[in-house]
Amino acid sequence: MKKLINDPDAVTREALEGMAAAHPDRLRVSYEPAFVVRADAPQQGKVAIVSGGGSGHEPMHGGFVGPGMLDAACPGEVFTSPTPDQMLEATKAVDGGAGVLHIVKNYTGDVLNFEMAADLAQGEGIEVAAVVTNDDVAVEDSTYTAGRRGVGVTVLAEKLCGAAAADGRPLAEVAELCRRVNDQGRSMGMALTPCVTPGSGKPSFTLADDEMEIGIGIHGEPGRRTEKLAPAAAVTEMLAGAILDDGPFADGDRVLAFVNGMGATPLIELYIVYRELHRILEARGIAVARNLVGNYITALDMAGCSITLLKLDDELERLWDAPVDTPALRWSA
């Protein structure tokens, strides 16, 4: 196992300590239980947004905490759901009296634990809504889910709902927006190499030197099929084709096109994939009105990429363009 770590059992804790040291101006980190929270939480009168999930997908979710995006993120151990007490304490830390939205990726443990945390928080008088993302078109059920997995759309939903909450919208509207984003978005990923978890020290699966996995999950769980390596144009066609066949995308639509790296794929390759994706969409009469290219929802040191398309409208474009100030996404109006 070749990693820049110390103790395999301390990876999550030590990375959180690094985040806390790097971003003291905008973040606080609680360790018992573990969550990352805006330094200026709670924001009185604003709907708060909390997400979370296993670690190993950085910058998701801790890197998305800050004005205009998440109020708090709950990191589990690597590829392990966070616990209800993390979610409950994070929810209490950010509640400003306007309620809290939980954005939950569809993995069985995450969903169950966020449900329990929501019940507990409501028992303490905090209004909670939850939206589960399930945008991965690769498989209908998977190793860790009943139903589709939640992947790249989660990043977009967190940005868009963060903007809506910053606008002062009420909880029901922010939750409805989140459901709409999830409905209008689709994703699919692929891997050139497996990832290695610090705990096991072993590759999560095997791929021959001339093979890739199409439809991979963000924990190295199996996808649709193992194939021979193909050029970027063919890979992009496979991912985009499956997404376009499944989602609500038609000639004349405009979309946000998100090319995401899995952690070990350099930016030069992601821009080549983006080139292919842009051509495919243009050929179908779909305009790319916004885009995002980079490593945002990763699988440790897996090489590969995912594509997410989100159908846009004026409202979503305005929310996307709204200011955001987090470690990983940062722009002004």
Which residues are catalytically annotated? 57, 219
116 binds a second copy per the rule CB under 8 A: no
Contact between residue 69 and residue 62 where contact means Cβ atoms under 8 Å apart:
no
Site membership for a second copy, residue 36 (CB under 8 A): no
Among 175, 300, 307, 316, binds a second copy (CB under 8 A): 300
Show the binding pattern over residues 213-242: x = contacts a second copy (CB under 8 A), - = does not: ----------------x-xxx-x-------
- In the stretch 246-265, what mask flags binding to a second copy with x, by CB under 8 A? -----------------xxx
Strand order in the sheet with 100-105: 27-31, 34-38, 72-78, 48-55, 100-105, 128-133
How many chain residues bind a second copy (CB under 8 A)? Answer: 59
Burial 103-137 (b: 16+ CB within 10 A, else e): bbbbbebbbebbbebbebbeeeebbbbbbbbbbbb
Residue 136 contacts a second copy per CB under 8 A: no
The residue with tokens 């398309």 is 309
Residues 44-73, mask of contacts with a second copy (x by CB under 8 A): -----------xx-xx---x----------
Q: What does the alpha-carbon distance between residue 320 and residue 333 come to, in Å, rounded to a whole number?
A: 10
The answer to whether 6 contacts a second copy (rule: CB under 8 A) is yes
Among 32, 228, 268, 283, indicate the residue that binds a second copy (CB under 8 A): 268
Instruction: Choose, by CB under 8 A, the member of 26, 180, 278, 318 that binds a second copy.
Output: 278
Cβ contact 198:207 at 8 Å: no
Does 273 participate in binding a second copy (rule CB under 8 A)?
yes
- For residues 249 and 135, what is the distance between their CA atoms, to the nearest angstrom? 14
Question: What is the spatial distance between Cα 255 and Cα 270, in angstroms, rounded to a whole number?
Answer: 18
Q: Which residue has the tokens 């905490």?
A: 65
C-beta closer to a second copy: residue 117 or 307: 307
| 209 binding a second copy? (CB under 8 A) | yes
Q: Decide if residue 303 touches a second copy (CB under 8 A).
A: yes
Instruction: Kindly list the strands in the beta sheet with 254-261, ordered across the sheet, starting from the edge strand earlier in the chain.
Output: 225-228, 211-214, 185-191, 304-311, 254-261, 287-294
Among 11, 41, 309, 316, binds a second copy (CB under 8 A): 11
* Residue 167, number of CB atoms within 10 A of its CB: 15
CB atoms within 10 A of CB 201: 11
Q: Residue 86 interacts with a second copy (CB under 8 A)?
A: no
Query: Strand, coil or helix: what is 321?
Result: helix
Shortest Å, Cβ 129 to a second copy: 30
Q: How far is the CB of 169 from a second copy (least distance, A)?
A: 23
Residue placing its CB nearer to a second copy in the complex, 35 or 182: 35
Does 202 interact with a second copy (rule: CB under 8 A)? Answer: no
